[in-house]
Amino acid sequence: MKFLLIILTIVNTGCVLAVPPKMKFTLKVIDLETKQSITNALVWTGFTQKEDPWGIGVGKSYIIEEKIGSKGIATYSGNSVNGGHGGSVFAEGYYYSGFDFKYKTNKILNRWEPWNPTSRKVLVS
């Protein structure tokens, strides 16, 4: 009986310490007509993590709302349980645009691949 309790404790500890795979991506936001970078764009994205190691819970997410960098480029990273990821880009004077990425898990490195893909989002005024 003690042996069974020890095994269950070890398995439970390993699950609690498990971390969702890492994810990283870059956005470049440009104007359709001028092909110039848009520096006043606002990006909404987020990462979803499980609340419990058994996958029974509804999960928890955190949202990132951030302005794009001075060159129209921003890089985001976090841990996520989802292999598909996306968000929205907003800028004053433009229609909003969505973006999404499709990933496959790399279990050895505990991250989603491709690592740090770049998406070029073209906004229309």
Please report the pLDDT score of residue 7 as a whole number: 60
Please report the pLDDT score of residue 51 as a whole number: 54
Instruction: Give the Cα-Cα-Cα angle 119, 123, 124 (nearest 5 degrees).
Output: 150
Please report the pLDDT score of residue 112 as a whole number: 92
Delimit the domains of the chain by residue range: 19-123
For every residue of the chain, which 3-state class applies, written as one string?
A: CHHHHHHHHHHHHHHHHCCCCEEEEEEEEEECCCCCECCCCEEEEEEEECCCCCCCCCCEEEEEEEECCCCCEEEEEEECCCCEEEEEEECCCCCCEEEEEECEEECCCCEEECCCCEEEEEECC
The structure's pTM equals 0.73
- Structural tokens at position 62: 């955190």
Please report the pLDDT score of residue 13 as a whole number: 46
Please report the pLDDT score of residue 110 as a whole number: 93
Cβ count within 10 A of residue 101: 15
Could you tell me the fold of the domain covering 19-123? Immunoglobulin-like (2.60.40)
Q: Tens of pLDDT along the chain (125 residues)?
A: 665 555 655 555 445 457 889 999 999 999 999 989 998 899 998 888 765 556 665 567 778 888 888 888 999 998 888 778 889 999 999 988 888 888 999 999 999 999 999 888 888 87
CA distances from 10 to 1, 14, 16, 19 (A): 15, 6, 10, 16
Please report the pLDDT score of residue 20 as a whole number: 85
- Number of residues assigned to the chain: 125
